[in-house]
Amino acid sequence: MVVVNMELLSLLIFLPLLCGAVAWFAEKKLRGSGNWITLFSLTGLLLLSFYLGSLGDSSLSWSWFARFNIHFALLFDGLALLMVVLTLALAILAVAVSWREIEQHRGFFHFNLLFSVAGIIGVFLAADLFLFFVFWEVMLIPMTALILIWGHEKRRYAAIKFFIFTQASSLLMLVAIIALALEHQTQTGFLSFSLAELQILGFAPKTEYWLMLGFFIAFAVKLPMVPLHSWLPDAHTQAPTAGSVLLAGILLKTGAYGLIRIVLPLFPNATMEFAPIAVTLGVLSIIYGALMAYSQTDFKRLVAYSSISHMGFVLLALFSWQEVALQGAILTIVAHGISSAALFSMAGMIQHRIHSREIGSMGGMWASAPKMATITLIFVMAGIGMPGMANFNGELFTLLGSYQVFPTHTIIAALGIIGSAVYGLHLFQRAFQGPTNIDISDLRMRELVYTSLLVVALFYFGLQPHIILDLSADTLSSLLSIAKEAKP
Amino acid sequence: MSLQELWLLLPVLIISAGILLVMLQASWKRHSVIAQGLTVLTLVLALAALIWQYPNDIKTITLLFEYEPIGGFFSLLILMACISVALLQGPYMGSSYQGNSSKEVAEEFYILLLLSCLGGMLLVMSRHVGSVILSIELMSLAMLAMLAYNRERKVALEGAMKYLLLSGAATSVLLMGFALLYATSGQLLLVDMLQSPMGLLAKSGFVLLLAGLAFKLSLVPLHFWTPDVYQGAPVNSTLLLTTLSKAAVFALFIKLILLVPEDFEADMVRMLSWMAIASMLLGNWLALQQQSLKRLMAYSAIAHMGYVLVAGIIAMGIDHSLVLEGVSYYLLAYLVASILIFAVLSLLSKLDDQQDLDQLPQLQGLFWQHPWLASIMTLGFLSLAGMPITIGFIGKFYLLTLAVKLSAWWLVAAMLVGSAVGLYYYLRVIFTLFAPSKNEIHQASGAYFTKIWIGIIAAGLLLLGILPGLLGDQLRSILVVG
């Protein structure tokens, strides 16, 4: 633990808020300045998180609400660093894709963007469950605003659905958090919301199961898992491109992160008991997502359903409690973050040009936009899980690991990969090949820069997955040791 | 009565003096700004006096009143609500500086406001049947006149008439309850009355008594008057009704609940649990499709009173200190949010118009025209919905903690379902504020003091939501003796 950077750590949360407010006011005075301020502050935060990461693990704890022994406690370890960097990188992508796309209320847009970044980073850093819950809810508000104000035709419906699904499910989590703290009081004599202190508790099996379910449902809605997924296609489709990038790239990952950080370590016995159900639902998500994706005619909706399919792999991996599978989950989280964000930004670029997301109104775009087609093909290939790209490692590890525990489930899940090849290629074929249906302008310089960066990232993490694995090694090994204790 | 007792009554005396002063002023020279100034001054002085000699133990003042911490805290809430109404009434009636003052007289409203405030403050200090009846009626009758303050609005008169009849009926139920309790115990002090052994007659008396109070709190099934009265009344009177009378009556309610004898507890828990569950579910459910914001707030009030009642039920079970803290924090949160929401409506409405600005479509796009007002309203609704970083979340957290602690899972379930349903209609309002604007909305010009005050309350909503420890860590010492 390093002492010097204690306060710096909280800056990761407060700086985005501050910069957001600055961007809002600056945009009012000088049109276009908001973009630059947001970009610079995100880059600065990225550097800050690298600096903090280079100092090793760090943590912080301020007394916050003494009556209930609640602390403003943050923990910054390898996994948190990984997620924070992913968040900031994708937020930069979100700024880049919306550089010209946003025409109304631009200052307020940047404020909301940075506000949601602050909330998401808070979720990744929180080491106190009360604080975790606060961030968990707070990140919803700006995200809902992004969908509601800058979204597409059915934005109101999508925003309300998104908000109510996530809020209602997180109420269960709040009850579970409170029950957990009270359980700590009965066992040790004082209330505690600290994640580390709660890990030492032992529960009666039934209590543990109910508590676990409270958390699990909240995270499963966010993940999302079939049958709690129905908010996602609407929210992703109606959100502006930046919103879709953040939603698919990071927000879904908070669900997986919650499972890794809270559900698995706090309730190892209950999760093992629950694993068959969770894994079945995960496989169901994989197959259902793939089938639904295939039948979509809306570019963004298709990518949205493919997200459901991919997050099913994460669920499958996490609940099989195998080292290889857990590594696969982490790899999938990162890889899907990048590849789905990439596909959504591509969908945004196409929509900006032809004012439609219908795949039927595309077709033969390769002829007029060869660069765009090539890069889209790479993104689609990454989504399919082509060897050499990031997603492949994640899915391979997941299947390898979970086969040892749930062979039947894994075999069915593997069919999902075939499904993803079908819908991915189907999408590409309908949009870019075939008779020329529509002329479209090719990628501009700015767009080419950030899409190529995404391509590089996909290949880089595909060929060098150990960077991600090294960062998350500590978290995973502690999970595995918990698992060993829990297993009879 | 000794001099020291008089001294303890200082806040109440200040308000009484203020009433006389405004009356004299109205008979000498009618001027709405002076009346408003005097009223605000009176209330602020009373607030200062209350804070200055905030009670930290129980002192009785004559037979009728007692001066103790719970009453002190609720008096603070009452004064906060009254100051808000007094400040809002000026712009609502149209300032006389701009030459467009209202057709209705202005001064009487302030007198009524002070009378109602006096009633509320006396009610929370009461320890005797006589003082309870007197102060509850003082509060309600003054309120009645305020509900019908615009005599040209038919809905206002209709609402006031309903309130008069039903409130009269509720008061007689209350009186009947007291009569039965007196008949069996022979005591008129609340403590003695409830601590003497209870037969069936006394128990039914207690139930009647609670029913009378539940009417004022608009708990299901005694809620039917609420939406009509809320919608009909001028917006500031509605604000007063939803803040002052709820807070004052609940203070009495919780005191009575804490006195319930043990052998009667199980029955009371059952009865009140049903009321709470029904209020939470029905209130939220009926609010779903409302287009009128005042009606929406009426149903939301029903639901929120259901939530606080949960704490009241738990009060009979355990840990009185935490219950009191929970109730106080929740009511504070509810009051703050209501004040903010009604304040925005009030700043957008005029007393002389046939209708207040009240329909949801009229508010469409408020954020793009008046960002501050819309932000304040958004904060208010987020707080009612219990979103974190607002004070409402902390209130909800307290109540959930209490309910989980007692393993009252039915209540927890009703709270969760109620909150989830509630989200929808709160969100609907917020979304309307952020929709593209359709028509121009005029807000009251000037009124800087009012706006600063509203700003302070909004800042408090955020501050106590972000740093709940500021108040939460102190509440125990504020509310509990010793």
Nearest beta carbon to residue B404 from set A64, A138, A179: A179
* Closest-approach residue (CA) in chain A for B417: A168
B412-443 pLDDT tens trace: 999 999 999 999 999 999 999 998 888 888 88
Binary contact (B420, A168; C-beta < 8 A): yes
CA A341 to chain centroid, in Å, comes to: 10
What single letter denotes the amino acid at residue B343? A
Which is more confident, B402 or A7?
A: B402
Contact B140, B120 (CB under 8 A): no
Q: Are strands A70-76 and B65-67 parallel, antiparallel or unpaired?
A: unpaired
Mean pLDDT, rounded, for A245-263: 92
**Which B residues, 406 through 425, put their C-beta within 8 Å of a C-beta on chain A?**
412, 416, 419-420, 423-424
Binary contact (B424, A164; C-beta < 8 A): yes
The C-alpha angle with vertex B329 and arms to B326 and B335, in degrees rounded to 5, equals 135
Q: What is the largest CA-CA distance in chain A?
A: 73
* pLDDT number for residue B78: 95
Contact B67, B61 (CB under 8 A): yes
Which H or E element spans position B59?
Answer: strand B59-61
Three-state DSSP class for B358? coil
Binary contact (A178, B401; C-beta < 8 A): yes
Residue A355 CB partners (closer than 8 Å, separation 6+): none
Q: How many CB pairs lie under 8 A apart between chains A and B?
A: 72
Q: Which of B325, B372, B434 has the most A C-beta neighbours within 10 Å, making it the best mutation to test the interface with A?
A: B434
* pLDDT number for residue B46: 95
Q: Where are the domains of chain A?
A: 273-488
Chain A contact present for B325, CB below 8 A: yes
Q: Are strands B65-67 and B59-61 parallel, antiparallel or unpaired?
A: antiparallel
Chain A contact present for B475, CB below 8 A: yes
* pLDDT number for residue A1: 45
- What average pLDDT is seen over chain A? 90
* B312 band by pLDDT with thresholds 50, 70 and 90: confident
The C-alpha angle with vertex B398 and arms to B396 and B399, in degrees rounded to 5, equals 65
Q: What is the largest CA-CA distance in chain B?
A: 65
* B97 band by pLDDT with thresholds 50, 70 and 90: very low
Binary contact (A141, B387; C-beta < 8 A): yes
Q: How far apart are CA B471 and CA B482, in angstroms?
A: 18
Q: Is the pLDDT of residue A488 over 80?
A: no
Report field, pTM of the whole predicted structure over 0.90: yes
Measured in angstroms, the CA of A311 and the nearest CA of chain B are apart by 26
Binary contact (A172, B416; C-beta < 8 A): yes
Nearest residue to B456 via CA among B374, B336, B349: B336
Taking the CB of residue B286, how many other CB atoms lie within 10 A of it? Answer: 21
Q: How far apart are CA A422 and CA A410, in angstroms?
A: 19
Binary contact (B389, A138; C-beta < 8 A): yes
Q: How far apart are CA B243 and CA B336, in angstroms?
A: 9
B371-421 pLDDT tens trace: 999 999 999 999 999 999 899 999 999 999 999 988 889 999 999 999 999
Q: Is the pLDDT of residue B237 over 90?
A: yes
The C-alpha angle with vertex B17 and arms to B25 and B190, in degrees rounded to 5, equals 140
Three-state DSSP class for B117? helix
Contact A78, A470 (CB under 8 A): yes
Q: Is the pLDDT of residue A2 over 50?
A: no
Give the total number of structural domains in chain B: 1
Q: How far apart are CA A320 and CA A145, in angstroms?
A: 37
- What average pLDDT is seen over chain B? 90
Q: Is the pLDDT of residue B348 over 70?
A: yes
* pLDDT number for residue B311: 84
> Which token pair is A138?
């707070």
* B259 band by pLDDT with thresholds 50, 70 and 90: confident
Domain range enclosing B449: 3-479
Chain A contact present for B431, CB below 8 A: yes
Binary contact (B469, A167; C-beta < 8 A): no
CA B401 to each of CA A18, A176, A178, B124, B468: distance values in angstroms, whole numbers, following the listed order = 33, 10, 6, 26, 15
Measured in angstroms, the CA of B448 and the nearest CA of chain A are apart by 23
> Which token pair is A282?
């995960």
B67-90 pLDDT tens trace: 888 889 999 999 999 999 999 998
Bridge partners of B65, per DSSP, are B61, B126
Most confident of A168-177, A363-372, A465-474: A168-177
B275-303 pLDDT tens trace: 999 999 999 999 998 899 999 999 999 99
First to last CA, chain B: 26
Chain A contact present for B8, CB below 8 A: no
* pLDDT number for residue B345: 93
A400-451 pLDDT tens trace: 999 999 999 999 999 888 999 999 999 999 888 888 888 888 888 889 999 9
A353-389 pLDDT tens trace: 888 888 888 888 888 888 999 999 999 999 888 888 9
Measured in angstroms, the CA of B327 and the nearest CA of chain A are apart by 15
Q: How far apart are CA B216 and CA B229, in angstroms?
A: 12
Which H or E element spans position A58?
Answer: strand A58-65
Mean pLDDT, rounded, for B347-354: 84
* B129 band by pLDDT with thresholds 50, 70 and 90: very high
| Peptide bond between residue A240 and the one before it cis (omega within 30 degrees of 0) | no
Q: Which of A147, A171, A193 has the most B C-beta neighbours within 10 Å, making it the best mutation to test the interface with B?
A: A171
Q: Is the pLDDT of residue B445 over 80?
A: no
> Which token pair is B416?
């969760």
Mean pLDDT, rounded, for A115-137: 94
